[in-house]
Amino acid sequence: MAIAITCATCECRDPRPVTTQQAAPSDLELKQRIAEALARRGPGYQPRTRHRKPDGTPKFTNRLILETSPYLLQHAHNPVEWFPWGEAAFDKARRENKPIFLSIGYSTCHWCHVMEEESFEDEGIAALLNRYFVPIKVDREERPDLDAIYLAAVQQMTGDGGWPMTLLLLPDRRPFFGGTYFPPRDGVRGARIGLVTVLERARRAYQEDATGLANNAAQLVAELQRLPALVRGGDLPGPPVIRAAVAQFAESFDSAWGGFWGAPKFPRPAVLEMLLRHHRRTGDARSLEMVTLTLERMAAGGIYDQIGGGFHRYSTDARWRVPHFEKMLYDNAQLVAVYLEAYQVTGREDFAQVAREILDYVLRDMTSPEGGFYSASDADSQGAEGTYFVWTAAEIDHVLGAEQGRIARTYFDVTTGGNFEHGSNVLWRPAPLADVAAGLGLPAETVRQAIAGARVRLLDARSRRVPPLTDRKILVAWNGLMISALARGALVLDEPRYTAAARKAASYLLASAHGQPGRLLHSISEATAAGDAFLDDYAFLIAGLLDLHEAAPDPRMLAEAGSLANELEAGFADPSGGYFFTTARHEQLLMRAKPDHDDALPAGNSVAAANLLRLYELTSDDRFRTRAEATFRAFSHALATAPTSLPKLLVALDFQLDRPKQVVIVSPTGIEPTELLARFRKVFVPNRVLLRVVEGTASGSPLSEGKVARGGKPTAYVCIGTACEQPTSDPDLFGNQLSKVEPL
């Protein structure tokens, strides 16, 4: 599928002088808009470029200055004449008969920054791109639909994919070449082929064999368009697919360090959730071991920010020691949920503490004044990866002093030689605190207190460093995940701060991104909501509202979840089962994807299936149940042939195969069900819905009908379908009712 790269290596520099990226002089309106946009940035604006005039203003400014995406704005002062995705770029490509150079990335992507500095800030490469191509920049987080399609194309062409993603397209948007990161020139970073060579050969191929490229592109697009059809339906899947997935994960499990497969290692929250449910239904000790060891090792590793809380994106090694330092909202939201569940299963306070620290990090560093949650923080600061997070031994001693520094250096495995670049150290905890204390000859409590104090002082010292960039874009889908995390944290940990934050975020999203009935928007940047929502936005936000309704009863949240579910059905449903990623009114692209893999983000179909089952239990509306079953049938072939590809869907399937509990707690006016909730928090009962209601008030659900607070006390009802256990105000009896398990 790729173009042939056969000519000799060459470096092409346009003999014409490189001009600023502002519009052509004849396009006065665009030129004026760009100048006005730059002026609005104010006198303190620091353009992200090494190309500046003597007065410090940028030498180049392109159309991306008109955008709100943090990623696109990062490239607004490259000498490359970037276009955002849109008709203006395609019109130019058709009019001038030029191929499109498509670059897809995101604002906190380390290798995206590397490619920008090496290639897109290079005036010679910019000249080549500007003369022979129409360059387009896409923020994959704002346009996940484009990202999914062109990622599939790159995977078809190369067998791999990632970011930055680099493609060459025909003017009609069909790809004919693709890859990921390219160094600027042959031999750089040990690469055989650099970007200059790729561009030169692509230019020649486009000029000399346009028909051949078009034929290759047509064949590739035909293959892409067949992908949704491969999501073949069948019978309703049963327990064997769950057992098969567990067996396959067990084969790839790292018994020494936790996690699955080798380096690099990524958090797999959905896998861990599925294993916890398998343990609950079967008593399988191995499933629980895989979860607890993985969570222990991750929390002790450098992938976890030992000072400030929150997880980095992934570990570059098998021991979770050296991370890729960006922090993503979606990773941290999902990891909160699984640490809370592991806490409920095991009673281990260290798991609960990790969940608290993640949530506190998000509230401290990743929350907007309006209540929404920012997307990510960068891996880089001061031009290097990890600078903000790593420490030398001398820095530790300078902040903490000799004795506390000695304890902290031992606990966090800080050495003078370092475990990272230039003698610096990623903090991690290779040994338990008790072992560290024994090695130091100190009481464990002394070490514990010293480390607690050291964390506070080190965080304060670190806060005075130059921080990595925070992508302040607010994505509805990822915010839905964090609303779920906060709501679950509020319920399990009995923390009102988390309830308040979840409520504020939900109200903000519903007001800002769902202002028009029937239309949810995808993202909010610079106080502007834009872009029609995708499947993930609906599915993740519905889940968040359902979780919030359980943590902080509010009939409005349940009603909003039901309304959004109806919108999702109307706009995204595939009549054969499951949901497309886009509605029919979205921009028509090369294919209409139907997500069938749980990756770093769970597939929208997996979360939607779980939502439907929960809504059925809460409303008794059979449409939700039949639609959920249709979704399982739609992915039955995928579950049968590759069950490990959809662990989050298996979580939903476990709910469907269980006898879900309907838990209703009715309280008299003015009396909180404190003891019943305290007992509820200690039981891992994932396949259930929880409805809390004050006697005599509307709950928004038929589950509360006929249920009263007996004897003037908060009363719990545990039901399955239409059959209920004995109503009780006794926390122990309530706990026993919750703990009953239907075997898988």
Q: Which pLDDT tens digit goes with each residue over 372-426?
A: 999 999 999 988 999 999 999 999 999 999 999 999 999 999 999 999 999 999 9
C-alpha distances out from residue 550 to 22, 333, 343, 665, Å: 53, 17, 19, 11
**Cβ contacts of 516 within 8 Å, gap of 6 or more:** none
Edge-first strand listing for the sheet containing 715-720: 688-694, 661-667, 715-720, 723-724
CA atoms within 13 A on the CB side of 247: 8
Q: Which tokens is 408 given?
A: 């902290």
Q: State pLDDT tens for residues 198-245.
A: 999 999 999 999 999 999 999 999 998 887 766 667 899 999 999 999
Q: Which tokens is 164 given?
A: 């930055």
What stretches of 412-495 show up as alpha helix (H) in DSSP? 433-440, 444-462, 476-493
Q: What are the E-state strand segments in 548-620?
A: none
Contact 228, 592 (CB under 8 A): yes
pLDDT bracket for residue 176 (50, 70, 90): very high
Average pLDDT over residues 512-522: 89
83 backbone dihedrals φ, ψ, rounded to 5°: -110, 150
Strand-pair partners of 367: 373
Average pLDDT over residues 576-595: 93
C-alpha distances out from residue 698 to 28, 558, 561, 618, 701, Å: 60, 12, 17, 14, 8
Nearest Cα neighbor of 560 from 547, 542, 543, 534 is 542
Q: State pLDDT tens for residues 488-500.
A: 999 999 999 999 9
Q: State the virtual CA torsion across 500, 503, 509, 510 in degrees, nearest 10.
A: -150
What stretches of 376-443 show up as alpha helix (H) in DSSP? 393-400, 402-411, 433-440
pLDDT score for 28: 86
**Cβ contacts of 175 within 8 Å, gap of 6 or more:** 102, 150, 153, 154, 157, 167, 168, 169, 217, 220, 221
Q: Which tokens is 550 given?
A: 């359980």
3 state DSSP class of 471: strand
Edge-first strand listing for the sheet containing 528-532: 474-475, 521-525, 528-532
Average pLDDT over residues 583-610: 94
Placement of tokens 């004795």 in the chain = 403
Contact 415, 427 (CB under 8 A): no
3 state DSSP class of 680: helix
**Type and span of the H or E element at 685:** none
Q: Which tokens is 129 given?
A: 């791109």
Share of the chain above pLDDT 90, in %: 90
Task: Give CA–CA dist 227/633, Å, rounded.
Answer: 17
Average pLDDT over residues 280-296: 98
pLDDT score for 383: 85
> For residue 688, is pLDDT > 60?
yes
DSSP state of 711: G
Average pLDDT over residues 19-25: 39
pLDDT score for 656: 98
**Type and span of the H or E element at 661:** strand 661-667
First-to-last C-alpha distance (Å) of the chain: 46
Placement of tokens 């400014």 in the chain = 61
Task: Give CA–CA dist 644/271, Å, rounded.
Answer: 8
pLDDT bracket for residue 18 (50, 70, 90): very low
Contact 410, 436 (CB under 8 A): yes
C-alpha distances out from residue 641 to 173, 351, 597, 629, 654, Å: 33, 34, 13, 19, 18
Placement of tokens 């495995």 in the chain = 413
pLDDT score for 595: 93
Task: Give CA–CA dist 717/389, Å, rounded.
Answer: 49
What stretches of 578-724 show up as alpha helix (H) in DSSP? 604-619, 622-634, 636-641, 647-657, 674-681
pLDDT score for 230: 61
Q: State pLDDT tens for residues 120-141.
A: 999 999 999 999 999 999 999 9
- Which of 23-37, 296-310, 429-443, 691-705 has the least mean pLDDT? 23-37
Domains of the chain, first to last:
28-227 (3.40.30.10), 260-365 (no CATH), 389-464 (no CATH), 659-744 (3.40.30)
Task: Give CA–CA dist 337/322, Å, rounded.
Answer: 24
Helix axes 433-440, 402-411, angle to 10 degrees: 130
Nearest Cα neighbor of 12 from 136, 186, 160 is 186
**Cβ contacts of 500 within 8 Å, gap of 6 or more:** none
CA atoms within 13 A on the CB side of 160: 7
The distance of Cα 358 from the centroid of its chain, to the nearest Å, equals: 15
3 state DSSP class of 17: coil
What's the Rg (C-alpha) of the chain?
27
Contact 221, 167 (CB under 8 A): no
Share of the chain above pLDDT 70, in %: 96
